[in-house]
Amino acid sequence: MVINSESRWLDIGCGHQILPPWKLSEEQQLITNAAQVVGIDYDWPSLLKHTTIADRLQGTADALPFGNGSFNLVTANMVVEHLDNPSTQFREISRVLKPNGIFIFHTVNAVGYFAKLRRLVPAQWVKPIAKALDGRESDDVFEVQYKANSESDIVKLATESNFEIEQFRMISSDATFALVPPLAVVELFWIRLLMSSSFRRFRTNLIVVLRKKNSEI
């Protein structure tokens, strides 16, 4: 998907950035290229810290405050794993997209080791561990649901929401336990296994491209 002067782009769960901090210049260029960029997030402090999207508002994907067909691109970066009612939320995303519009999301694979470990961690430990391993502050760690994080769930949601799957990729993330030497060795070995086709379904992350069906067809 190329961002150009015809792109009307909504980023859901925009937080305080779209891309990682080291890609700030790329993020700025993408926003400059688009005709319109809107960011929405329910977390007000994150919106206040956002520096690249000028048009930001507080809200959720349950009831997007936009008319039908307002955008031709919707994105969500590490957001779908937090959706508590994806059937409603995917339909809302479809509603605000034009026919043939694109919904791109990057999220956690529910059967990957990261998601499985996250489920095992007691709630009171999640934020301290995220701080130690990833440097994330406690106000940047949110509850996960994993209700739209498997291939079967996404196929079902896409069908219900008038989407067709244009691309479905399973990828491996960088090592999470690099600062814990004993675990790092095991993790690096596992990441190598994940690169083989036999272990593809256990890769940590998903990149999915959905296209809204043309309702006139």
Residue that is written with structure tokens 């940047």 in the block: 140
* DSSP calls for 111-172: TSHHHHHHHHS-HHHHHHHHHHHH---GGG------SS-SHHHHHHHHHHTTEEEEEEEEE-
- For 113-155, how does the pLDDT look when each residue is reduced to its tens digit (9 = 90+)? 778 777 766 666 555 555 445 555 655 667 888 999 999 999 9
| The pLDDT of residue 173 | 72
- For 62-120, how does the pLDDT look when each residue is reduced to its tens digit (9 = 90+)? 999 999 999 999 999 999 999 999 999 999 999 999 999 999 999 999 988 778 777 76
165 to 12, 21, 128, 178, 182: CA distances (angstroms)? 19, 29, 37, 34, 39
Q: Name 32's Cβ contacts closer than 8 Å, sequence gap at least 6.
A: none
Domains in the chain and their CATH numbers?
Answer: 8-109+143-173+204-212 (3.40.50.150)
